[in-house]
Amino acid sequence: EKRLNKAFKVNPTPLNDSLKLMEKNVDKTVSKIEQRLKNTRVFKIKTEIEDTLKPLRQPRQPRISGNRAITAAYSANMSKLKGLNP
């Protein structure tokens, strides 16, 4: 068993180095592709359209959450109870 362990012992340092190098190359390639994509006419037209539409969009009202929702429900129920005469 000891002999087998020695025979199959792996030094992780070169593996880590090669993985880092591969990751670096992939990052370079992806960034090059992104640059090419950003230089295309379609992308420029898309960003132009988005920029013109941004001011036209109206912001949505924020959702009522947490304490505000509880307070609103409580006040609505209390106003209903005020109308009742026991």
Phi-psi label, residue 66: left if phi above 0, alpha if psi -120 to 50, beta otherwise: left
Total length of the chain: 86
**How does pLDDT run across 25-71, given as a tens digit for each residue?**
999 999 999 999 888 988 888 888 888 877 766 666 666 566 776 77
Give domain limits for the chain: 1-56
Instruction: Decide if pLDDT at 2 tops 70.
Output: yes
pTM: 0.42
Residue 18 CA, distance from chain mean position = 29
Burial class (CB in 10 A: 0-12, 13-18, 19+), 34: exposed
> What is the structure's pLDDT at 84?
56
Dihedrals φ, ψ of 10, to 5°?
-115, 135
Which one is predicted more confidently, 52 or 73?
52
Place of tokens 């013109």: 52
